[in-house]
Amino acid sequence: MPDDKVRFPDPASPDPLPHAPRVQWLKPLISRANIHVGDYSYYDDPIAPERFETDNVLYHFDHVGDLLRIGRFCALATGTTFIMNGANHKTNGISTFPFPIFGADWERHMALLHDNPSRGDTVLGHDVWCGYQSLIMPGVTIGHGAVVASRSVVTADVPPFAIVAGNPARIVKMRFSPEESARLLALAWWDWPIEQISRFIPLIMEGSITALEDAAAQMEARTS
């Protein structure tokens, strides 16, 4: 591979495609401390992609304490939605209705809501593709390189490089064999410097795992 200086998109600019404003990098759009997004992950929405954190991340309250973590190079199609732990209601009593939040004398019983159930942080690994109107439920981890089919409802963890579909989402196919998946996880190309990723895009998109391993070895040799 040549050592010529390569150019790459600016991850700090929310508009990577000026001719297609519906596609925006997510990281520059996020203002909330409880949402963490990696570089080069994008959201595609023909109406208001800039409203992602208010329209697509629901029931995400600071006092609950859960985080939404989205890795690098994730592709989120229109309507991808995250339900966070603030949506949970208690189910261990006779009623699930949250009386205290409506004030008046009911507010005296706010302590009854302090132990609302939580499944922890919601995590998308790197290079995850979420299809149109996919729905991610609280506390789910979706592994690196996974694919979520359109209108799937993800209620449980998804392993790396799995393709899931349905309600609830189930694995319909693995993109790679267990041995190949392990090799790709060891390569972790998404963690490479962006200059190196840019040079090896043809291998990342269409090359063999062996060729990508050889490229990684070349990079290591140059830096050692």
Tell me, what's the pLDDT at 2? Answer: 44
Tell me, what's the pLDDT at 146? Answer: 98
All residue ranges of the chain with pLDDT < 70 are 1-4, 224
Q: For residue 199, which of 221, 217, 215, 211 has the smallest C-alpha distance?
A: 215
Tell me, what's the pLDDT at 107? Answer: 87
Please, what is the angle between helix 209-223 and helix 178-187, to 10°? 30
Tell me, what's the pLDDT at 140? Answer: 97
Superfamily of chain region 23-176: Hexapeptide repeat proteins (2.160.10.10)
Q: What pTM was computed for the model? A: 0.91
Tell me, what's the pLDDT at 19? Answer: 85
Tell me, what's the pLDDT at 4? Answer: 61
The pLDDT tens digits of the residues spanning 46-89 come to: 999 999 999 999 999 998 889 999 999 999 999 999 999 988 88
- Candidate list 19, 36, 89, 144, residue with the active-site label: 89
Phi and psi, residue 2, nearest 5°? -70, 155
Distance CA 73, CA 128 (A): 7
CB 82 within 8 Å of CB 136: yes
Tell me, what's the pLDDT at 118? Answer: 83
141-142, strands of its sheet edge to edge: 35-37, 68-70, 122-124, 141-142
Q: Is 89 a catalytic residue?
A: yes
